[in-house]
Amino acid sequence: MTEHGQHPPSVLTFRSAHDFDTTISRLKAVLQRAGAVVFADVDQREAAMLAGLTLRRTRLLMFGNPKAGTPVMAANPHAALELPLRLVVWEDDEGHAQVDYRDVTQTLGPLYAIAPDLLVPLQRVTGLLQAAVQ
């Protein structure tokens, strides 16, 4: 696979076994079943085209579950910068759908001093996303 750039260790990338559109649908369904709300679905390729630019297929989903995120934000209001959660689905040069997710549980504890027990519900997200792309 072609290398597409550097990213921090908290960013996890999953190659989907499905096409781009199916990957988006599966992610949304898995998140909904887990009690999450998809707050936004941003077509970044479309935005680029409106600006006269080109971009590979790229969609940003903002999602979360207030039952999981609210206690984190109550513990430290600055942590709201990390919530809602975000993932990006993008198409690589070979036409495979890739899913990038920044695991905020790796940063909320050390950078925002969020207690480990408050991070437990957020730790489920990685597994949910992996299941959606298999």
CATH of the domain at 20: 3.30.310.70
51 within domain boundaries: yes
pLDDT score at 119 = 97
- Tens of pLDDT along 3-39? 578 888 899 999 999 999 999 999 999 999 999 999 9
Phi-psi region of 124 (alpha: psi -120 to 50; beta: other; left: phi over 0): alpha
Integer Cα distance of 107 and 50 in angstroms: 34
In this predicted model, what pLDDT tens digit does every residue of 50-98 receive, in sequence order? 999 999 999 999 999 999 999 999 999 999 999 999 999 999 999 999 9
Q: Please give the residue range of the domain that contains residue 47.
A: 16-133
DSSP 65-116: -HHHHHHHHHH-GGGGGG-SEEEEEEE-TTS-EEEEEE-THHHHHHHH---H
Per the domain annotation, does 5 fall within a domain?
A: no
Count of domains in the chain?
Answer: 1
Indicate whether 2 pLDDT > 70. Answer: no
* Structure-block tokens of residue 27: 């992610």
pLDDT score of 1 = 39
Q: pTM of the predicted model, to two decimals?
A: 0.92
